[in-house]
Amino acid sequence: MEAQPASPSQTQPMSLPEMSPPEMSLPEWLVLAILGQQSAHGFAVAQLTAQGGDLGRVWQIPKAVVYRAIGRLLDAELIAPQGTEPGRGPQRTVYTATPRGREAADRWLHAPVGHVREIRSHLLLKLALLDRVGENPADLLRAQRAVLEPIAQAIEASHARSNGFDATLLAWRHATAVAALDFIERIAPDEPRRP
């Protein structure tokens, strides 16, 4: 029996597929992004996302949901304990994003949202987080415009062929999409404004 040459898979080490983060909720993404920007304990994160907090002005997340998000992110190995905060009172564990967590948070922060309804929550939080670290959101806003423009055009085309409540609903969706585009145009840095 003649020996067969080794196949490439037998001679080269196999690379493991890149692990993608699990499906995550908005609170989980927000906690991950915060910890990707700066290490903190759960109570500090909860203060940022509480009513009156820097990020709570945009989207409030109850303290229990923050701690549940921390647990899920730990399980997914997207964050890790960094130590405890010294001082009187209960010891607070300080968490930081792992390299994989930081990469996932960065991808999420710079990705446009896929639905007009997510402008109020996801996009505004992304803009607030980028502002906290002094990052220019121009690329995100350009990408967001590129996602929203065809949505607005498709809704407008569908509206022309509809009647009854369908027409009413499509008129609402179109007005919302146009308002989102106007919002992006108003805040886009160094972008020429459309008339």
pLDDT at 15: 37
The DSSP secondary-structure symbol of 3 reads: P
Please list the alpha-helical segments (H only) found in the chain. Answer: 8-11, 26-37, 42-49, 63-75, 99-109, 124-132, 138-160, 164-187
pLDDT at 192: 53
Weakest-pLDDT range from 86-90, 163-167, 190-194: 190-194
Tens of pLDDT, residues 85-122: 877 777 899 999 999 999 999 999 999 999 999 999 99
pLDDT at 89: 72
Weakest-pLDDT range from 4-8, 139-143, 171-175: 4-8
What pTM value is reported for the model?
0.82
pLDDT tier for residue 21 given thresholds of 50, 70 and 90: low
Q: What's the CA gap between 2 and 63, in Å, rounded?
A: 68
As assigned by CATH, the class of the 26-109 domain is: mainly alpha
Residues near 68 by Cβ (< 8 Å), separated by ≥ 6? Answer: 27
Q: What's the CA gap between 125 and 81, in Å, rounded?
A: 24
pLDDT at 9: 39
More confident position, 20 or 125 = 125
pLDDT tier for residue 1 given thresholds of 50, 70 and 90: very low
Structural domain spans, the chain: 26-109, 112-190
Tell me the β-bridge partners of 96. 80
Q: 40-41 and 79-85 as β-strands: parallel, antiparallel, unpaired?
A: unpaired
